[in-house]
Amino acid sequence: MKVTLKQLAYFRALAQARNFGRAADLANVTQPALSMQIKELEAILGVALVERLPRDVRLTRAGRDVLARADRILSEAMELETSARRQGLQAALTLGMIPTIAPYLLPGTLARLRAGDITRDLRLREAQTADLLSGLREGRLDAVVLADPAPAPDLVIAPLFQDCFLLAGSEGRIGALEQGRHALDPTTLNPDHLLLLDDGHCLADQALAFCAIDRRQTRLDLGASTLSTLCGLVAQGFGLTLLPELAVRAEAAGGQGIVLQRFGQPEPFRQIALLRRAASDGGAWFDDLGAHLCAAGQELIAAARTCCAPL
C-alpha cells in the first residue's frame, strides 16, 4: 500500500483539531472513517503518529515530522490542481475563423479577454470552412468559429448567437425595391443584381439559398473575396448584397454610401457556433472563450439593430 493524499489530509485535520471527532467534522467524514485512515497511514509508515489520550491527541516526534512533510505535499497538490484549472485559460490556443466573421468578431473578443485578465496566447487562422474543419480534425486547430456548421459525431458544437442578414445597396437601388412593398422577400430579388463572394465562402452559399437562386443564374461575377470589397461595389451602385449584422458597424455605418433594408419576418440568418473536437479537453477554456465570443457578437448585433431596426 502507498500513502494517499486523503490520508495526509485527514492526518493534518487531526493535528489541527487534536480530537478525532472534531477532525472528522473538519474533514467532512465520519469519525470511524477518519480513524481507519490514520491507522492505515501509521501502518504504511511503520511509526505511531499520535498519542491517543482520553481528551486529547498529541503528535509524536515522528508525527511532527510527517505533518511538516504532509503540509508541503498537500500545498503542492493544491497548487498543481489550481495550475491545471488555469492552464485552460492561459495556455496557447489556436483558433480558426471564417473570413466573414473574423474581422468583425475578433477585436471585441480580444478586448474582453484582456479585460478579464486572461493571459492566453491566442493564435488565429482565417480560412474557409472546409480548411478549418480539416485543421480542427487533424489537431492543428484547437477550436473554430463557423456559420451553420453541420452536426458531426466527432465534434462538439456550441451555438453562440444568430446573425441576421440585411440587404445592402445604394440609396437608389434600395429605394426602387421599397416602392409599393411592405416587407422585403429575399426570393424576389433579381439574380442579375446580386453581388456574391467567391465560390467556397459559405456566406455566398447561404445568400443563394435564402434567395432561392442558382449561382449560374447570376451574371455579376466580380471575384470578390471579402465583404469589404462587396460593400465598396454596392456603395457605388453596382448591385445589391446580403450583409450580416456582424459586419454592419464596420462596413455600412458612418455614411459610407450604403443603405440597409431589413427583410420581412422570418428574417434570414446564420447560426454562429464554436466547435472543438469531441475527444479534446473541454471545460473552462472552451466555455470561457464561447462566453467572450458571444458577448462580442451580441454587442455588434445590438449596434446593427440600432442602425437598422427589425420590422
Q: Is 269 in a helix, a strand, or coil?
A: strand
pTM comes to 0.68
Could you tell me the pLDDT band of residue 280, with boundaries at 50, 70 and 90? confident
Residue 217 pLDDT exceeds 60: no
pLDDT of the residue at 93:
83
What's the one-letter identity of residue 247? A
Listed in sequence order, the residues at least 6 apart from 270 whose beta carbon sits closer than 8 Å to its beta carbon are: 147, 148, 162, 163, 165, 203, 206, 244
DSSP letters for 50-97:
EEE-SS-EEE-HHHHHHHHHHHHHHHHHHHHHHHHHHHHHHS-EEEEE
Strand partners, 224: 197
* Segments of the chain assigned E as strands: 50-52, 57-59, 93-97, 122-126, 143-147, 155-169, 241-244, 259-261, 269-277
**pLDDT tens string 72-130:** 898 888 777 666 555 554 567 889 999 999 999 999 998 888 776 555 678 899 999 99
Could you give the percent of the chain with pLDDT greater than 70?
A: 84
Domains and CATH numbers, the chain: 5-89 (1.10.10.10), 91-159+272-307 (3.40.190.10), 162-269 (3.40.190.10)
Q: Which of 32-36, 55-59, 154-158 has the lowest mean pLDDT?
A: 55-59
CA 256 to the chain's CA centroid: 32
**Calpha distance 44→70 (Å, rounded):** 14
182 compared with 271, residue with greater pLDDT: 271
Listed in sequence order, the residues at least 6 apart from 80 whose beta carbon sits closer than 8 Å to its beta carbon are: none
What's the one-letter identity of residue 223? G
pLDDT of the residue at 110:
87
pLDDT of the residue at 90:
56
Q: Which of 19-23, 151-155, 284-288 has the lowest mean pLDDT?
A: 284-288
Omega into 266 within 30° of 0, i.e. cis?
yes
- Count CB atoms within 10 A of the CB of residue 293: 27
Q: Which of 26-30, 34-38, 171-175, 205-209 has the lowest mean pLDDT?
A: 205-209
Strand partners, 124: 95
25 compared with 178, residue with greater pLDDT: 25
